[in-house]
């Protein structure tokens, strides 16, 4: 059963055709990794999945339901879909704990005490139990990103979207974030991950999706895409990044 399905998605920015007939299906528990050159439409695709961008054409079907962005569906969808960005986007004036409980308390009306308990468990899970009262500016990039992951998880999403979650990090901090993501994948979370970390893709992805100029050019199991790419554009891209 597919948790999210995208049908003939097209997105324009003015005259720029950023997504061209994108079709995609991600099953429950699957980890899909999206790769491709800068400007190929990876972020736009993720943003269309939770309607941070509204596609001009096509459908996003979540859990069997066509999402209509003009209706209430959007709030429901956004509760079910967590997103982690390249630049963490924590609230700078809030402590780590406050960052994590904000949405559960304000949006989901979870009782504060319960939200705090859960936040503590999530911080433990991402290895930051001792940072509960810290402010984002007191944390390393890797720690901030792990808080951002905990914050997304606090809403109990059924799908997690990651847009280059390690691209802004110093190299020595990349591993700790990837380790949390790998753990999450191991627990069965459905994930769509845009990344340039080909090692992570090889090891963790069930499926690798290569995008070029707004299209999905090739997809398959990591071993297939990395070792026996079928399309010349995929081969060109891989020869530059591997
Ligand atoms: P990627 O994430 O693969 O680097 P993006 O999805 O960010 O690519 O961008 C795809 C194309 O759409 C690029 O040419 C980019 O410049 C353009 N684009 C992205 N967002 C916007 C926007 N808000 N307004 C105009 N053009 C945009
Ligand atoms: Mg991007």
What are the strands, taking DSSP E only, across 28-115?
A: 31-36, 57-62, 65-66, 81-84
Instruction: Write the residue with the smallest CA distance to atom 24 of ligand 1.
Output: 13
For the CA of 41, the nearest ligand:
1
Strands 65-66 and 57-62: antiparallel
How far, in Å, from the CA of 167 to the mean position of ligand 1? 17
pLDDT at 24: 97
Return phi, psi of residue 228, to 5°: -135, 60
Q: What percent of the chain has pLDDT over 70?
A: 100
- pLDDT tens per residue across span 150-197: 999 999 999 999 999 999 999 999 999 999 999 999 999 999 999 999
Bridge-based pairing state of the strands 65-66 and 81-84? unpaired
Task: Decide whether any atom of ligand 1 lies within 6 Å of the 16 Cβ.
Answer: yes
Spacing, Cα 39 to ligand 1 middle (Å): 6
Atom from ligand 1 closest to the CA of residue 37: 3
Nearest atom within ligand 1 for CA of residue 40: 3
Q: Taking all residues of the chain, what is their mean pLDDT, rounded to a whole number?
A: 96
pLDDT at 128: 98
Which of 12, 36, 37, 41, when mutated, tests ligand 1's pocket best, judged by the most ligand atoms within 8 Å of its CB?
A: 41
Q: Give helix then strand counts, H and E, for the chain.
A: 9, 10
For residue 215, which ligand has an atom nearest its CA?
A: 1
Model ipTM over 0.95: yes
Q: Which pLDDT score, from 0 to 100, does residue 203 have?
A: 97
Say what the pLDDT of residue 74 is.
85
Separation between Cα atoms, residue 128 and residue 133, nearest integer Å: 11
Q: How confident is the model at residue 36 (pLDDT cuts 50, 70, 90)?
A: very high
Q: Give, as residue ranges, everything with CB less than 5 Å from ion ligand 2.
A: 42-43
pLDDT over threshold 80, residue 72: no
Q: List CB contacts of 214: < 8 A, sequence separation 6 or more.
A: 17, 18, 19, 20, 22, 40, 41, 44
Strand 159-163, strand 81-84: pairing: parallel
Give the model confidence (pLDDT) of 78-129 as tens digits: 899 999 999 989 999 999 999 999 999 999 999 999 999 999 999 999 999 9
List the residue whose alpha carbon is closest to atom 16 of ligand 1: 39
Distance CA 98, CA 105 (A): 10
Is the shortest distance between the CB of 239 and ligand 1 below 6 Å? no
Distance in Å, CA 11 to ligand 1 centroid: 10
């Amino acid at each position: 059963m597919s948790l999210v399905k995208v049908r003939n998605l097209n997105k324009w920015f003015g005259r720029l055709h950023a997504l061209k007939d994108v079709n995609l299906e991600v099953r429950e528990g699957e980890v899909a990794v999206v790769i491709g050159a800068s400007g190929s439409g990876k972020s736009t695709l993720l943003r269309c999945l939770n309607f941070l961008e509204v596609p001009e054409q096509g459908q996003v079907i979540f859990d069997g339901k066509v999402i209509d962005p003009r209706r209430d569906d959007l709030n429901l969808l956004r509760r079910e879909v967590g997103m982690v960005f390249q630049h963490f986007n924590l609230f700078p004036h809030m402590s780590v704990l406050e960052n994590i409980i904000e949405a559960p308390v304000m949006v989901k009306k979870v009782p504060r005490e319960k939200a705090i308990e859960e936040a503590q468990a999530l911080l433990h899970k991402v290895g930051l139990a001792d940072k509960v009262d810290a402010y984002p500016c007191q944390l390393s990039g890797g720690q901030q990103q792990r808080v951002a992951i905990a914050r997304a998880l606090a809403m109990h999403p059924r799908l997690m979207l990651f847009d280059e979650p390690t691209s802004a990090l110093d190299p020595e901090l990349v591993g700790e974030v990837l380790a949390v993501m790998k753990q999450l994948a191991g627990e069965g979370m459905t994930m769509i991950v845009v990344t340039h970390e080909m090692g992570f893709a090889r090891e963790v992805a069930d499926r690798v999706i290569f995008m070029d100029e707004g299209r999905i050019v090739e997809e398959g199991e990591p071993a297939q895409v990395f070792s026996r790419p079928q399309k010349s554009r995929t081969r060109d891209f891989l020869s530059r990044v591997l």
